[in-house]
Chain A
Amino acid sequence: MADETTGIGGAAVDVVTLTIDGQEVTVPQGTTLLEAAKGAGTEVPHYCYHPGLSSPAMCRLCLVEVEGAPKLLPSCTTTVADGQVVRTNSDDATRMRRGVLEFYLLNHPLDCPICDQSGECDLQDFVFAEGREHGRGRDAKRVLGRDDFGGDVLFYGDRCVMCTRCVRFMNEVEENPLLTVVERGNRSVIDTFFEEGLEQAEWAGNVVDICPVGALVSKDFLYKARAWDLDHTPSICPNCSQGCNIELHTRDNLVHRMKPRTNPEVNGHWICDYGRGRYEWLNRGDRLEAPVVHVEGRKTAMGWTAALEALKERIDGLGIDTPGGKTVKAVVSPFWSNEDLGAVSRLVGALGGGDVVFRASRADEEVALTGYEGLARRKGLAPNERGAELLGCARVGDDVGQGGLDDLANHDGIVLVLGDALDDQPEGFAPNAALVLYLGAYTSSALASADFQFPVTTFAEQEGTFTNHAGRVQRFWPALSGPGTARPAWLVLGALLGALRGEEGPRSAEQAFGLVASAVESYSGLNYETIGAQGGPSAAPLPVAGD
């Protein structure tokens, strides 16, 4: 009998109990057999089915035996029924799947050695798992060759399994039908409409991700790395304030590509082409590698202990605590984590308080993914603007992320810069300042004259969190190791604060976030455990219109 239980959000859901491969499973009504089996730990091979798209049930690979049904049923469209007995591995089902896999290989070029998909290919995986040892095809294969679909997408027709995921993505999710199936029968092939290719799309990179084989590949990634050599690190896309969940794929300490990571609350299975294509800055070579201190007109690289000692002495000598002493002004980059920004505001507070500002580029328009509600390339083109705002930082400057620093440039107290290399500013920034401290990743002409230049890691090199436009706090993990002696800014600033005030700084990003959470009201109750891999909603008010 259908029973009631609590589902997501506490709503009552009807559930049914069925048996899959001898295992009793209880799932909500309306679940497909394929998803129910997945929940029970059985992956039924499939190509055309994708959880983010409609199910045409045409690849015929997910056929399973259902007791009482006259023939095998596609598990992707057949929904569960109470008392159903399903066998995914009955003789009939495995024999038919073996047959279907043989059909797939009839015209497949088997060019795995030069195929980018090799190693993460569903055709390879399923054939190895269930296919015939030898094919029976004796005849010449159909040859279609390669086609440039425009944008970043390249099409190898011979590898295509005609699952039409790409066509359905463009039709149903991007709602920009630029791909179609041309011809019919085994002459059918995916194609664009004449010369109108995917360069007109804004989300077309997703068709490469959802292609189960090597038919659609990324030009950017072409021949760059083998799938099995890449490390995958869960992260957050840094290119706008949407906060899409991604994986950074790295090898030899370089990011090779960005792939979406499924999160139904933020980005589903998708990311935009704008975000996907902007990862090269993470591989920049012009990095600060060691703390540099100006001593008697000479720049000297030194170790952290000596550098922090020198900085402490300078600050102590400024008479911060005395009435009428120097004040602090800071500019931070919203590409740095909540932990880093929180450490800046703590330091500023400890030094008597002062303004903290940030600058970020803004796009004219949002680029919405019309078929997926709530997902867009946002106008704010930095990942942590919301986090900066929640920490009390004020936005300054124009829509290309320049200007707005006159106050800071003329300041006569302490000038603190985190992350922002001030590329729009002239050399010798803040000439009147009593002390210029730059914590950054890159060398900077404006800040080459800074009294202290401390190398810090980027988000890709450390653990931390960003807060997206909707106030959702999301974690990322280190994918790269930082250059030289670069350290996370929260660690450096925590150590400095410790030296100045005798408090012990945070020893881990988790502790650093704990300090942020206690300072920002809307983060109450959040910690690394509650945020987890999928992010935690903060109680932050919704973004203002136009964000």
Chain B
Amino acid sequence: MGYPYSHEKEVPILSKYFGDPEARTLDGWEAREGYQALKKALDMDPEEVVEAVKASGLRGRGGAGFPTGLKWSFMPKAKDKPHYLLCNADESEPGTFKDRELMRWVPHQLIEGCLIGAHAMGAEHVYIYCRGEFFEATQVLAKAVEDAYEAGVIGDDVMGSGRKIDVTVFAGAGAYICGEETGLMNSLEGRRGEPRVKPPFPAAVGAFGMPTTINNVETLAAIPHIVANGGEWYRQWGSEKSPGTKLFCVSGHVRRPGNYELPLGFPLKDLIYDVCGGMIEDRALKAVIPGGSSVPILSAEEAEGCALCYEGVIEAGSMLGCASVIVMDETTDIVHQVMRMASFYAHESCGQCTPCREGTAWVTTILKRIEDGRGTEEDLDTLVEVTEQMTGTTICVLSDSVAAPVQSSIAKFRDEYLALIRRGERVGAA
């Protein structure tokens, strides 16, 4: 069930109890077959759990789409050091609001997923790193963790299994870069939220220098369902390479924006015109950002045949990312939108790597100048070259994230830039 709107084409698994306040409570969750999957998992060998997740083909929902089961199998089996599972609840990608809803409505689903994951990887401590601005979500989750401790679901003897698993809800201070996995670890440890150089990778040296796996909220929330029903069950939705369902966060110029849980591979066109009720005032579609602000912009033509799965969006010329679909109609000023995104990244750059620290700010300055009608055509070449210098040259991919919208918008909407540069004409200025 989507929230605030729902649609009959949805396959509500993770979002089944969105809008149902009782599902938030421990009793309510148990009444909805909650913690059954955990019980089942605790009776299974950790290896078996990992195999089940591998069989489901579940891919990381944080944006990169790395196969979750494979990631779990990287954790060292030796128990000479503490193992940690981190849940990345620092949902900060502009356009994304799925994790917040998962935490607000079904916190126990996430806790259950975390505990199963901890069992599978031999982790004795789970940290749920919440975005600093998520006040309500963090409070709901913290209450749920408290209740689960009281009920013996978390703690020294998880559901009577003898396994000890602790869960800590940790609130960040509100920085985009703390959603990057190693930046998150630094922040969790009390350091500056700056991504670390890899290698070493987190499975070898992660939080507090120990073997660590980090998963997105939505990924972990899907785990109980996969364990309860088996990997094959999960594959009934989606494609071979992108199995399962996914929450799509739709924002922008559609009649009914919101979260919709749909099978992967769902046509983008149907999402906009059917599920979301079409464009506001039936205006024409201009562009779609299919995966959050750091992926290339799709033009209306490219969006036309795009299937919303990992491989489908790549084929259309962009990336699925965390499936945050930002829909823009004909009144949208693309230059302004790109400038807004660039200034977001300039503000959020941690400042470690030179190309990102200087580049994000420079790109923003040039875009602002173009928007103010003081740009030149050489500025467009400079933007393309500068963003090329920012791609693949830094520790994390924040600087690549600026390059994608800038380069794609100049390639696809060059006319809009030129109109501003040559005649000071602005789209949708009225």
Q: Does B12 contact A (CB under 8 A)?
A: no
CB distance from B391 to the nearest CB of A (A): 9
Contacts known (A57-B395, A63-B393); A103 close to B192, Cβ less than 8 A: no
> Which interface residue of B192, B346, B357, B360 has the most chain A CB atoms within 10 A?
B357
Flag whether B352 is at the interface (Cβ < 8 A).
Answer: yes
CA distance A353 to B276 in the complex (A): 107
In the complex, what's the smallest C-beta–C-beta distance from A158 to chain B, in angstroms? 13
Using a CB-CB cutoff of 8 Å, which residues 116-172 of chain A contact chain B?
136-139, 161-162
CA distance A184 to B175 in the complex (A): 10
The 3 closest A-B pairs by CB, nearest first: A99-B389, A188-B351, A103-B358
| Chain A positions within 8 Å of B369 at CB level | 138-139
Q: Kindly report which residue of chain B lies nearest to residue A136, judged by CB atoms.
A: B382
A140 to B174, CA, bound (A): 30
Restricting to A95-115, which residues have a CB under 8 Å from any CB of B?
96, 99-100, 102-104, 106-107
Asked if B394 and A185 make an inter-chain contact with CB atoms under 8 angstroms apart, the answer reads no
The 19 listed contacts between A and B (C-beta, < 8 Å) are A56-B197, A56-B352, A57-B197, A59-B354, A63-B393, A72-B392, A99-B385, A99-B388, A99-B389, A100-B354, A100-B389, A139-B362, A162-B357, A181-B351, A184-B175, A184-B192, A184-B350, A184-B351, A186-B358
Q: Which of B350-369 contact A (CB under 8 A)?
A: 350-355, 357-362, 365-366, 369
What does the 1/0 interface line of A204-222 toward B look like (CB < 8 Å)? 0000000000000000000
Inter-chain contact B354/A185, CB cutoff 8 Å: no
Whether B197 and A74, one on each chain, are in contact in the complex, defined by CB atoms closer than 8 angstroms, is yes
A515 is an interface residue with CB less than 8 A from chain B = no
Contact (A162, B354) CB under 8 Å given A96-B393, A139-B365: yes
Cα(A56)–Cα(B394), bound, Å = 11
The interface residues of chain A, by DSSP majority, are classed as loop
Q: How far is the CA of A410 from the CA of B357 in the complex (A)?
A: 73
A106 touches B362 (CB 8 A): yes
Beta-carbon contact of B351 and A185 below 8 Å: yes
Q: Mark A158-199, 1 if CB is under 8 A from B, else 0.
A: 000110000000000000000001011111100000000000
Verify if A475 is at the interface (C-beta below 8 Å from B): no
The CA of A484 and the CA of B382, in the complex, are separated in Å by 64
Does B348 reach chain A (CB closer than 8 Å)? yes
Question: A61 to chain B: which residues have CB within 8 Å?
Answer: 354
Residues of B near any A CB (own CB < 8 A): 175, 177, 192, 197, 346-355, 357-362, 365-366, 369, 382, 385-386, 388-389, 392-395
- Which of B346, B351, B359 sits near A183, CB closer than 8 Å? B351
- Measured CB to CB, the closest approach of chain B to A493, in angstroms, equals 59
State whether B362 touches A60 (Cβ < 8 A).
Answer: no
Mark each residue of chain A from 277 to 315: 1 if its CB lies under 8 Å from any CB of chain B, else 0. Answer: 000000000000000000000000000000000000000
From the candidates B197, B357, B386, name the one contacting A188 in the complex (CB within 8 A): B357
Report the bound CA distance from A103 to B352 in whole Å: 13
A71 contacts B by Cβ under 8 Å? yes
Contact A187 B393 (CB under 8 A): no
Interface SS of B by simple majority: helix
A186 and B355 form a contact (CB under 8 A): no
Extra inter-chain contacts (18) besides given A63-B393, A77-B197, CB under 8 Å: A57-B395, A58-B352, A59-B353, A60-B355, A60-B393, A60-B394, A99-B388, A99-B393, A103-B357, A104-B354, A106-B358, A136-B382, A184-B349, A184-B350, A185-B357, A186-B349, A186-B360, A188-B357
User: How far is it, in angstroms, between the C-alpha of A423 and the C-alpha of B391 when the chains are bound?
Assistant: 68
A71–B400 CA distance with the chains assembled, in angstroms: 13
Nearest residue, chain A, Cβ from B378: A136
Provide the residues of chain A in CB contact with B175, threshold 8 Å.
184
Across the interface, do B362 and A162 meet the contact criterion of CB distance under 8 Å?
no
B393 close to A186 (CB less than 8 A): no
Docked-complex contact A181 and B192, CB < 8 angstroms: yes
* Contacting residue for B389 out of A55, A96, A185, CB 8 A: A96
Residues of chain A within 8 A (CB-CB) of B389 are: 96, 99-100, 102-103
Which of chain A's residues have a CB closer than 8 A to the CB of B351?
A: 162, 181, 183-188
User: Which residues of chain B come closer than 8 Å to A104, judged between CB atoms?
Assistant: 354, 358
How far apart are the CA atoms of A72 and B391 in the complex, in Å?
11
Shortest C-beta distance, A96 to chain B (Å), equals: 6
Contacts of A96 in B (CB 8 A): 389, 393
Please name all residues of chain B whose beta carbon is closer than 8 Å to the beta carbon of A162 when the two chains form the complex: 351, 354, 357
Among A60, A74, A183, A188, the one with the most B-chain Cβ atoms within 10 Å of its Cβ is A60
Q: Which residues of A contact B360 (CB under 8 A)?
A: 185-186
- From known contacts A139-B369, A184-B351, infer whether A103 and B197 are also in contact, taking CB-CB under 8 Å: no
- Distance to closest chain B CB from A506 (angstroms): 56
In the complex, residue of chain A having the shortest beta-carbon distance to the beta carbon of B362: A106
Contact call A185/B355, Cβ cutoff below 8 A: no
CB under 8 Å from chain B, chain A span 56-106: 56-61, 63, 71-72, 74, 77, 96, 99-100, 102-104, 106
State the Cβ distance, A160 to closest chain B Cβ, in Å.
11
Task: List residues of chain A with CB within 8 A of the CB of B388.
Answer: 99
- Residues of A near B366 (CB, < 8 A) are 139
C-alpha gap A95/B192 in the complex (Å): 31
Alpha-carbon distance A427/B362, docked complex (angstroms): 72
User: CA separation between A71 and B366, bound complex, in Å?
Assistant: 27
* Residues in B neighbouring A100, C-beta threshold 8 A: 354-355, 389, 393
A137 touching B395, Cβ below 8 Å: no
Q: How far is the CB of B239 from chain A (nearest CB, A)?
A: 25
Nearest chain-B residue to A95 (Cβ)?
A: B389
Q: How far is the CA of A6 from the CA of B12 in the complex (A)?
A: 66
B residues less than 8 Å from A136 (CB atoms): 382
CA distance A184 to B193 in the complex (A): 10
Which residue in chain B gives the minimum CB-CB distance to A77? Answer: B197
Find out whether the CB atom of A137 lies under 8 angstroms from the CB atom of B362.
yes
Q: How far is the CA of A138 from the CA of B365 in the complex (A)?
A: 10
Return the chain A residue nearest B398 by Cβ. Answer: A185
| Cα distance, A16 to B386, chains bound together (Å) | 37
Q: Which of B348, B353, B355 interacts with A99 by CB under 8 Å?
A: B355
| Given known contacts A57-B197, A104-B354, A139-B369, A185 and B348 CB-to-CB distance under 8 angstroms | yes
How far is it, in angstroms, between the C-alpha of A162 and the C-alpha of B365 when the chains are bound?
20
Q: Is the CB of A186 within 8 A of B361?
A: yes
Known: A56-B352, A139-B366. A72 touches B357 (CB 8 A): no
Per the bound structure, the CA–CA distance linking A106 and B382 in Å amounts to 13
- Bound together, the chains give a CA A139 to CA B372 distance in angstroms of 13
Residues of B within 8 A of A187 (CB): 351
Report the minimum CB–CB distance from A360 to chain B (whole Å): 45
